[in-house]
Structure 1
Amino acid sequence: MIRFTKQLLPLSIAALASSATLAQDLVLEEVVVTAQKRVERLQDVPISVNAVSGAKMDEAGITNLEGMTAYVPNLTMNQTGIGTIIAIRGISSGINQGFEQSVGQYVDGIYYGRAQLARAPFMDLERVEVLRGPQSILFGKNSIAGAISMVTAKPTDEFEGQVTALYEPSHGEKDLRVVLSGPLTDSLSGRLSLLGREIDGYYENTTLNRDESAEKEQVIRGQFRWDATEDLTMNLKVETGSFDTKGRFLEPVNPVTLPGGLSYADALFGATGGAYVLDTEQNFKRQSNGDFSNNDTENATFTIDWGLGEHTLTAVTGYNAYNYEEDCDCDFTGATVFTADSREDFKQYSQEIRIASPQGETIDYIAGLFYQSSEMDFDDAIRVPTTSLLGGLSALLPGTASQRTFTQDSTLWAGFAQATWNISTDWRLTVGGRYTAEDKEATRRQHHTNTLGQDVGATDLLLNTVYTAFLLEPYEEISDKRSEGKFTPLITAQWDATEDTMLYATYTEGFKSGGFDVRSNAHPDPDYGVNIIANQSPLVIVQTTAANGFAPGVFEYEEEKAQSFELGSKMTLADGAAELNVALFHTNYTDLQTSQFDGVLGFNVTNAGEATTQGIELDGRWLITNGLTLSGSLGYLDFNFDKFPNSQCYFGQTPDSTEYPGLCDLSGKTREFAPQFQGTISADYAQTIGDNLEWRLTGDINFSDSYYASPTLDPNLQQDAYAKLNLRLALGAQDGQWEVALVGKNLTDEAVSTFGNQLPVSTRLTGGTGTAYYSFYDRPRSIALQGTMRF
């Protein structure tokens, strides 16, 4: 199946030339994007960009960013036990609340730079544009791998409404969306969008006898557009929402025990198995005492477009905030071992002012200023219940906790400009630059509390020693400031080789600012934990020494930089009935920011050295006949760590780093979530029935090559190649007033791992002789009934 789907797209496009005479009367509908802050045809934009319409997302049942990844090659999104990872062309930010995102998210021009917001539901979108490669001039803020620009549907001049409902019985999914839009006065229009969605989940929690992960999402969005004059338009959008879950879609898998070693199950429950069983077979069943994540969001965007002669002045003011509370039964078993809870409160304010010249002049340009400030308060804790099995290791642990607080304030200023010189009717040269200056100030403190909830500070040597054995080191507040400035240039040459073929070449640089590590459990001083262990009491059973596992923690990390080259072509074929777009890219990254599991309970940020990502991306459409459209996209990715000597080793791997003893050298190897091939093929066929009805069949094949699901490239967590089949069969009125559809997703019922790692404390508890893993899995086969009414 994979080999067939890899070959089908280029073979289909190649057939266009011989079919041109059959398609002379057929012309594809133009796709319009704002990838360069102007309204342009997709075929005129010298960027590797995929645009997915709101209609396509509704039909395919795409409810969030994760669902988008199946339709955009070289885009991946993965949820983990404590975070969310978004990657383009293999570049991502890893797991840490302190990270700026390598893939910048923008909603109506407002930067959504926190990973948690990637989980927010999609609703009433006009389109989503995915721009691959560094986008450092017009989008700017840390978009070193690419940008995802979400454009919400706007108020209309004519009254319209839509109600869409979906029900899927196997996993208990119910989805209701309502949109009302139209004029309120001669110059004022409004739009109201409502979303309510819930799902029981596709995992069986055998401990609590419930389905997971149960999701509940609600969004209310109101928009107003005021055409104050012929030259002045104002748009206001206000939105509030929530997305809550109970449970997780993960399970323990693939336990490993060295010859003569102690298994993780025996380490937890005793050789007889005790009262618990560790189920490690991949079967969409899990054991847990309960997890939840409650998220609330609010945002407001005010946009002014003011025509000044032939120029346009645009001002975009944004407010973006969220808070969440999470509780993780992070031993991922039905036993009572430990829990991890966290809370975050984030607020962001931004202002952008830009001016754009009229298009079609000898020199076209756009320039502006950008300001953003943000505040983040984060705290989390690892708690050991009074009934925890860890009491068998030390009687000091049950009822205690290790707690951490983190705060960060950030202020950013930037100026940017991009100009295009229309040298002739066939040649264009674009140059651009952006200077960014950012200041950050952060604090972090970690402390332990006793069974009464009292902070023990440095007075309880025994308790602090026990936690330090798990790399949870107590320390008073550490704080620091950092300031950095960076200029990022861009140069692009475009050539209209023929009336239907545009070629382009681009060189650009990007950067992602440094910052402060939120989740490191150990103190940055490498001697800190060793000094505590040196006073270890013989009452402490856990044996840990500096020689067998004490790496220092991390507080500050440095910026990441990129240099990118791209060659591309946008082609219109078969007299307008087909399109084929191609992009070849080569990007070098230095000081790549990664998050490495410390082998016990935490993650440390490290600048991983150097990496190169290169490959080719294709996408095309072909209107074969009236009513039948074939489309597809394909990405080939070659990711290589040029230098990464300080990676954590996977279980059983012999440390081989000469520069960092005890660690492993990934230089010359790939990274997680970087399949060589990834793509989709879609066919859409519509046929009338009588005078008033129409039926429509849409089919997608989403495929991926094999990839590693763990940052350590552990072979026990490798996902095999797969292909998912999605089908949608709809019957409705020809005028679009109503439609009823069956929506089948993952009809091939593929079990796809999206993230995996070692079970926390599994290696530590077995004395390094055994371990077990956990893995997140995509949703299995589902078939839903969907109905839509428009008026």
Structure 2
Amino acid sequence: MIKPLKNFLPLAISAAIASAATAQDLVLEEVVVTAQKRVERLQDVPISVNAVSGAKMEEAGITNLEGMTAYVPNLTMNQTGIGTIIAIRGISSGINQGFEQSVGQYVDGVYYGRAQLARAPFMDLERVEVLRGPQSILFGKNSIGGAISMVTAKPTEEFEGQVTALYEPTHGEKDLRVVLSGPLTDTLSGRLSLMGRDMDGYYDNTTLDRDESGDKEQVIRGQLKWDASEDLTVNLKLETGSFDTKGRNLEPINPVTGAGGLSYQQTLSLLTGGQYQLDTEQDFKRQSNGDFSNNDTENATLTIDYALGEHTLTAITGYNAYNYEEDCDCDFTGATIFTADSREDFKQFSQEIRIASPGGETIDYIGGLFYQSSEMTFDDAIRVPSTSLLGGLSTLLLGTASQRDFTQDSDLWAGFAQATWNINDAWRLTVGGRYTSESKDATRTQHHTNTLGNDVGSSDILLNTVYTSFRLEPYPTIEDKRSEGAFTPLVTMQWDATDDMMLYATYTEGFKSGGFDVRSNAHPDPTYGVNIIANPVGPVIIQTTAANGFQAGVFEYEEEKAKSFEIGSKMTLADGAAELNAAIFRTQITDMQTSQFDGVLGFNVTNAGEATTQGLELDGRWLVASGLTLSGSLGFLDFTFDKFPNSQCYFGQTPNSATYPGLCDLKGETREFAPEFQGTLSADYSQPMGDNLEWRITGDVNFSDSYFTSPTLDPNLEQDAYAKLNLRLAMGSQDGMWEVALVGKNLTDESISTFGNQLPVSTTLTRATNVAVGNGPIASTAYYSFYERPRSIALQGTLRF
């Protein structure tokens, strides 16, 4: 009886939709996208793509990419202690400033590949399109995991303006946005967009007695559109912005004590004379001596569209730059142990030229050339303050530091083309390809400095011995260069099975270039440097890294490749009142680039071997009645490592790699941020009140299956399944000129962890302390985790004119 019921249920739902909609003659508003560099209906695009409108983002209070992930299945974004991770279908790059992201961001066609830019605030967007799977033909620098295309709102031919303000008292959030747009002359129009947002935060830092993280964001964007002639249109966009924070949204959790040894809490208490205890209860409280991140951005985009006969010639010139300075109290406790500061300066120039044929011909095509160059400088330091607990190991450590400098220049050329053969009214065949050639030059230096700030090289036995026990090895400048090229093809077959159903099948390949590791703390030569066998408080025994089993560092890593298959459908139901889209995918990845915590202070880039990610994605809309729309999306994901013999083990795990001593084999395991199920259910209902007013209620339920938040798959860092409720109640004029709303987020008050790892130096300090008190070489640890914002209710007002 179960199987017939399962087969009958979809038919019954479709019949109910059809009868309800036909009776009321309802039709959904079309969604238009530019996922294939042409203006097309979403239902005609043979790609698994979600489009979120700027209006939806404003209403839901989505202020950055992290907030959007709740509405797009199989998309995750997670901030870490020193980086940002974006993943689509489980494919992501790890924590390293050397990475371009596996998921590329594109703003008005310009590639934003740096992880830090994922934190930049959203403002005055027309829509955001999320394309899942390798996007290796039409999107600037190819993206192996997927693409996030952001389209800013453009100048209008008629004058219009909007002011939106939001206030949330519990966490001290204030958000003000102003937009002015309209004609300046008969052929010139402009748009000015301003945003200012700040928030006290939802964490209580009990050490400094302040709320964290204190966010402050500002953006100024100006645009000009010049209709020079019937054939020529020029758009210029200039933007400057900043996003700064004080503190971090994390706290220590889940201490683990080695058998017979002192816990990390007891160790800190012992080293501070009983003045400090570690709070490890998840309560949105943290202890820290202060963190900050100050970020400044600027970008300019010039877009020229020229009608060349019936063809369109497009040129996009992009300049993108940012710099940031961060200070991290990266022991993540209120005790004074060490600090980590970093600075990065990045500049990028790109030029794309493409030509597109008129649509609707027997052969439609698009092709072009792409060039991009970039320069990056990065430096960071691990510093031991004058009041650090590490003075208990040796007072000569106080005021010292281990510093690193990194530079990288890169140049990329690419040629691309894609053509669609409209075989007949029902069948279309699309083939495409891109050849990419990329070169990179990089340098890296690691050195220790004394209390006077002078470089001690390898002459100071104490500093080099103690710092190397934390896997910080001094070495002269390493430099190298690499060049590589790749061809990435695409083949898609589309079939209009009926007037209301399109089916497609796609094969494509993705490529992400190799590069150079920024954050590895050890020399890549395993025989280089000095170390100690046991602990810095016992006898000093100097041996090579290889002799005592410490992992060597990393400098160069190899390219990552993917082969992807996707079968999907786009369906229009109930005479246009409903839509249902589905995609089944399977992607095989080789030499996957990952970043692994070295267990102390650093991260090493590793090519993980092989992995397979496969699953199902569904999304749909249903205009049930006039004023009532239901929508939803669901992602099912199965990510499995087929080969990964060199993964870091989690604390307490027995190493099981047959080829890499001291490491663990993750073959057959999943990865972090890859929940099996993830989705959203939404309802939007509006109803007039009298002659002039309208009220509206919008509700979303965002749900997720459990997932690991650490790359080591530590069971102490697993997020449980959850369902989060967001609700918006609004009243305004029927003509849309004003509106007042209450915006509730996470009304179910779920505790949602977005990233976790071991507390840095916790195992090293407890091992040393346990030896010093005669407990043997036993280590303990504790963890830290980032948490999403708890329940919040804000007042939002909008005025349009």
TM-score, reference length from structure 2: 0.96
For residues 235 and 125 of structure 1, what CA distance do their matches in structure 2 show? 16
Alignment match, 2:349: 349
Q: Is the 8 A contact 1:265 1:273 kept in 2?
A: no
Matched, 1:401 2:411: no
Alignment match, 2:634: 634
Q: Is the 8 A contact 2:472 2:522 kept in 1?
A: yes
Q: Residues 331 and 558 of structure 1: is their aligned pair in 2 closer, same or farther, counting only changes over 3 Å?
A: same
For residues 257 and 535 of structure 2, what CA distance do their matches in structure 1 show? 29
Alignment match, 1:196: 196
1:579-594 aligned within 5 A: 579-594=579-594
Once the 2 structures are TM-superposed, how far is the Cα of residue 764 of structure 1 from its aligned partner? Answer: 1.4
Amino acid at match of 2:669: K
For residues 672 and 539 of structure 2, what CA distance do their matches in structure 1 show? 37
> Aligned with 2:57: secondary structure?
helix
Post-superposition Cα deviations, 1:240-287, rounded to whole Å, max 9, x if no partner, equal: 000000000000000000220221122233189621110000000000
Across the two proteins, how many residue pairs are aligned to each other? 783
Alignment match, 1:19: 17
Alignment match, 2:722: 722
Alignment match, 2:791: 781
Q: Is the 8 A contact 2:532 2:541 kept in 1?
A: no
> Aligned with 2:522: secondary structure?
coil
For residues 711 and 376 of structure 1, what CA distance do their matches in structure 2 show? 27
For residues 545 and 717 of structure 1, what CA distance do their matches in structure 2 show? 33
1:57-206 aligned within 5 A: 57-206=57-206
Alignment match, 2:291: 291
Amino acid at match of 1:83: G
Alignment match, 1:437: 437
Amino acid at match of 2:724: K
Post-superposition Cα deviations, 1:90-109, rounded to whole Å, max 9, x if no partner, equal: 01001000001100000000
Q: Residues 32 and 298 of structure 1: is their aligned pair in 2 closer, same or farther, counting only changes over 3 Å?
A: same
Q: Is the 8 A contact 2:526 2:553 kept in 1?
A: yes
Matched, 1:671 2:671: yes
For residues 287 and 721 of structure 2, what CA distance do their matches in structure 1 show? 28
Q: Is the 8 A contact 1:63 1:123 kept in 2?
A: yes
Alignment match, 2:238: 238
Amino acid at match of 2:412: L
Q: Is the 8 A contact 1:469 1:543 kept in 2?
A: no
Q: Is the 8 A contact 1:142 1:513 kept in 2?
A: no
Alignment match, 2:620: 620
Q: Is the 8 A contact 1:739 1:787 kept in 2?
A: yes
1:212-227 aligned within 5 A: 212-227=212-227
Amino acid at match of 1:770: S
For residues 588 and 467 of structure 1, what CA distance do their matches in structure 2 show? 40
Q: Is the 8 A contact 2:236 2:303 kept in 1?
A: yes
Amino acid at match of 2:786: F
Alignment match, 1:256: 256
Q: Is the 8 A contact 1:466 1:542 kept in 2?
A: no
- Deviating above 3 A after TM superposition, structure 1's stretches of 4 or more consecutive aligned residues are 10-14, 531-549
Once the 2 structures are TM-superposed, how far is the Cα of residue 549 of structure 1 from its aligned partner? Answer: 4.6
> Aligned with 1:23: secondary structure?
helix
Q: Is the 8 A contact 2:531 2:544 kept in 1?
A: no
Amino acid at match of 1:94: G
Q: Residues 55 and 536 of structure 1: is their aligned pair in 2 closer, same or farther, counting only changes over 3 Å?
A: closer
Post-superposition Cα deviations, 1:477-511, rounded to whole Å, max 9, x if no partner, equal: 00000000000000000000000000000000001
Alignment match, 1:754: 754
Matched, 1:643 2:638: no
Alignment match, 1:53: 53
Alignment match, 2:561: 561
> Aligned with 2:575: secondary structure?
helix
Q: Is the 8 A contact 2:271 2:389 kept in 1?
A: no
Higher mean alpha-carbon deviation, 723-732 vs 268-277, is at 268-277
Alignment match, 2:304: 304
Higher mean alpha-carbon deviation, 713-722 vs 546-555, is at 546-555
Q: Residues 104 and 537 of structure 1: is their aligned pair in 2 closer, same or farther, counting only changes over 3 Å?
A: closer
Once the 2 structures are TM-superposed, how far is the Cα of residue 15 of structure 1 from its aligned partner? Answer: 1.8
Alignment match, 1:4: none
Once the 2 structures are TM-superposed, how far is the Cα of residue 11 of structure 1 from its aligned partner? Answer: 7.0
Q: Is the 8 A contact 1:341 1:381 kept in 2?
A: yes
Q: Is the 8 A contact 1:13 1:580 kept in 2?
A: no
Post-superposition Cα deviations, 1:307-326, rounded to whole Å, max 9, x if no partner, equal: 01110000000000000000
Amino acid at match of 1:629: T
Matched, 1:502 2:502: yes
For residues 429 and 568 of structure 1, what CA distance do their matches in structure 2 show? 15
Post-superposition Cα deviations, 1:725-758, rounded to whole Å, max 9, x if no partner, equal: 0000000000000000000000000000000000
Amino acid at match of 1:189: S
Q: Is the 8 A contact 2:532 2:540 kept in 1?
A: no
Once the 2 structures are TM-superposed, how far is the Cα of residue 545 of structure 1 from its aligned partner? Answer: 7.9
Amino acid at match of 2:100: E
> Aligned with 1:636: secondary structure?
strand
Q: Is the 8 A contact 1:355 1:366 kept in 2?
A: yes
Once the 2 structures are TM-superposed, how far is the Cα of residue 14 of structure 1 from its aligned partner? Answer: 5.7
Q: Is the 8 A contact 1:100 1:142 kept in 2?
A: no
Q: Is the 8 A contact 2:566 2:583 kept in 1?
A: yes
Alignment match, 2:326: 326
Once the 2 structures are TM-superposed, how far is the Cα of residue 538 of structure 1 from its aligned partner? Answer: 8.1
Task: Return 5+ residue gaps in structure 1 as ranges.
Answer: 1-6
Alignment match, 1:384: 384
For residues 499 and 444 of structure 1, what CA distance do their matches in structure 2 show? 59
Once the 2 structures are TM-superposed, how far is the Cα of residue 395 of structure 1 from its aligned partner? Answer: 2.5
For residues 648 and 132 of structure 1, what CA distance do their matches in structure 2 show? 29
For residues 366 and 397 of structure 1, what CA distance do their matches in structure 2 show? 62
Higher mean alpha-carbon deviation, 174-183 vs 136-145, is at 136-145
Amino acid at match of 1:362: T
Alignment match, 1:605: 605
Amino acid at match of 2:165: A
For residues 18 and 724 of structure 1, what CA distance do their matches in structure 2 show? 28
Alignment match, 2:29: 29
Q: Is the 8 A contact 1:181 1:191 kept in 2?
A: yes
Q: Residues 619 and 384 of structure 1: is their aligned pair in 2 closer, same or farther, counting only changes over 3 Å?
A: same
Amino acid at match of 1:731: M
For residues 686 and 83 of structure 2, what CA distance do their matches in structure 1 show? 41
> Aligned with 2:156: secondary structure?
coil
1:516-527 aligned within 5 A: 516-527=516-527
For residues 308 and 545 of structure 1, what CA distance do their matches in structure 2 show? 66
For residues 662 and 554 of structure 2, what CA distance do their matches in structure 1 show? 17
Alignment match, 2:687: 687
Once the 2 structures are TM-superposed, how far is the Cα of residue 461 of structure 1 from its aligned partner? Answer: 2.2
Post-superposition Cα deviations, 1:138-192, rounded to whole Å, max 9, x if no partner, equal: 0152410000000000000000000000000000000000000000000000000
For residues 670 and 710 of structure 1, what CA distance do their matches in structure 2 show? 11
Once the 2 structures are TM-superposed, how far is the Cα of residue 542 of structure 1 from its aligned partner? Answer: 10
Q: Is the 8 A contact 1:393 1:541 kept in 2?
A: no
Post-superposition Cα deviations, 1:497-529, rounded to whole Å, max 9, x if no partner, equal: 000000000000001000000000000010113
> Aligned with 1:528: secondary structure?
coil
Q: Is the 8 A contact 1:140 1:434 kept in 2?
A: no
Amino acid at match of 1:102: S
Higher mean alpha-carbon deviation, 212-221 vs 531-540, is at 531-540
Q: Residues 535 and 133 of structure 1: is their aligned pair in 2 closer, same or farther, counting only changes over 3 Å?
A: closer
For residues 101 and 608 of structure 1, what CA distance do their matches in structure 2 show? 16
Amino acid at match of 2:15: A
For residues 744 and 453 of structure 2, what CA distance do their matches in structure 1 show? 51
Once the 2 structures are TM-superposed, how far is the Cα of residue 460 of structure 1 from its aligned partner? Answer: 1.4
Amino acid at match of 1:205: N
Matched, 1:423 2:420: no
Alignment match, 2:781: 771
> Aligned with 2:126: secondary structure?
strand
> Aligned with 1:575: secondary structure?
helix
